[in-house]
Amino acid sequence: MECGEPVRQVRVRAGMTVGELIEQLGEAGAYNGGALSRAVRIYERMLRDRDATRFFGLAGAMVPAGMGGIVTDLIEQGFIDILVSTGANCVHDILEAIGCHHYHGTSLCSDVELRQHSINRIYDVYLPDDAFEHLEAFIQGVLGDLPSGSTMTIAELLAEIGKQLPGGILATAAKKQVPVFVPALQDSMIGLQVWLFSQTHPFTIDACGDMKGLIDHCYGATRAGALIIGGGVPKNYIFQGMLLTPRGFDYAIQLTGDRPDLGGLSGATLDEARSWGKLEGEAEAVTVYGDATITLPLLVAATLERISHD
């Protein structure tokens, strides 16, 4: 029950780097700005720890908002060992990779009129309907090239998809052999396409087939860290893997816009995860509440700046 360091008033100046700004937030140390500076410290240690397996959880419509580039680069740089994502983020990653685009729009519009113009809305991002025709052609092509009568796990299918893409999250994960787990794949356009394909071709996705890979990764980890964007299935799945092992995560960061008092996992504090043993009692962990389209770029840019100082 003691006071820590004095709060220092933040000073900003033209041309300061992101890392310098985060340094200032750390001197102030309060609220979510303070939490973000602690997240940078934890993420730095997690990325420097060569014995740590790094999990990355990707929920929320992050690729339509342009956050996919950051994930792609983190995989390319070797900073993600296991990716767990919603199906939707994979769908939007494929769309971008095959040359379709998301567009700047506005949330102050008539959705009925948008419908008439065949434009789908994700808050203030617009996505023309025809993108899904390209998606269908691409996915059916990938599925058609698979050996007849296949049974695959979700991660295997996503690796096959990634191999046929020129860039983006799935392509880079395939290239770097980073497994991509999407527990609810059928809850996405990819799942719909798989189902359509399976109507005319023998083809099965083994729902629990990826569990072994996940648990092997969890067991194999000397230490483990997780950066979790948003919550949802990816957060739960990442933590669930650890429940079967004797130990929990050593590092954990969550960037979420949700709130704890509603009881849902997406807003739950990382401390709550300690009671379940998902985090080690002494794990370094912090939750930053806010929009990940702001906090994720800040976190990654500032952490890379620190790491580059070697």
Name which of residues 243 to 272 contact a copy of itself (CB under 8 A). 243-244, 257-268, 271-272
User: Applying CB under 8 A, which part among 12-20, 39-47, 135-143, 219-227 lies near a copy of itself?
Assistant: 12-20
Residue 147 C-alpha from the chain's centroid: 30
What 3-state class would DSSP assign to 221?
coil
List the x/- string, 22-61, binding to a copy of itself by CB under 8 A: --xx-xxxxxxxxxx----------------------xxx
Indicate which single residue of 41, 45, 49, 124 sits in contact with a copy of itself (rule: CB under 8 A): 124
Among residues 48 and 259, whose Cβ is nearest to a copy of itself?
A: 259
| Chosen residue from 4, 147, 149, 202 binding a copy of itself by CB under 8 A | 4
Task: Give the helix/strand (H/E) hosting 94.
Answer: helix 87-97
Beta bridge partners, 279, equal: 249
Interface positions, 269-298, toward a copy of itself (CB under 8 A): 271-277, 281, 289-295, 297-298
Contact 88, 68 (CB under 8 A): no
> Which of these is catalytic: 176, 212, 235, 278?
278
Query: Quick one: tokens of 208?
Result: 């629990």
At closest approach, how far in Å is the CB of 182 from a copy of itself? Answer: 9
Q: Which lies closer to a copy of itself via its Cβ, residue 42 or residue 88? A: 88
Beta carbons within 8 Å of 22's beta carbon, 6+ residues apart? 36, 37, 40, 298, 302
Our finding on whether 137 is near a copy of itself (CB under 8 A) is no
**Binding flag, residue 188, a copy of itself (CB under 8 A):** yes
Residues in 144-173 at the binding interface with a copy of itself, rule: CB under 8 A: 151, 154
Of 52, 41, 97, residue with least CA distance to 79: 52
Q: How many residues bind a copy of itself (CB under 8 A)?
A: 137
As given in the structure block, the two tokens for residue 269 are 């504090």
Sign of CA dihedral 32, 268, 273, 291: negative
Residue 217 beta carbon to a copy of itself: minimum distance, rounded to whole angstroms:
14
Shortest spacing between CB 190 and a copy of itself, in angstroms: 10
For the bound state, the minimum distance from the C-beta of residue 98 to a copy of itself, rounded and expressed in Å, comes to: 14
The least distance separating a copy of itself from the CB of residue 202, rounded to whole angstroms, comes to: 12
In the bound complex, what is the minimum distance in angstroms from residue 20's beta carbon to a copy of itself? 8
Neighbours of 217 (CB within 10 A): 18
Site string for a copy of itself, 202-241 (x = CB under 8 A): --xxxxx-xxx-----------------x-xx--xx--x-
Q: Is 278 known to be catalytic?
A: yes
DSSP string covering 170-201? HHHHHHTT--EE-TTTTSSHHHHHHHHHHHHS
Q: How far apart are CA 33 and CA 143, in angstroms?
A: 46
- Phi, psi angles (nearest 5°) of residue 118: 60, 40
Among 110, 148, 177, 200, binds a copy of itself (CB under 8 A): 110
- Residue 300 to residue 47: CA distance in whole angstroms: 11
Q: Which residues are catalytic?
A: 278
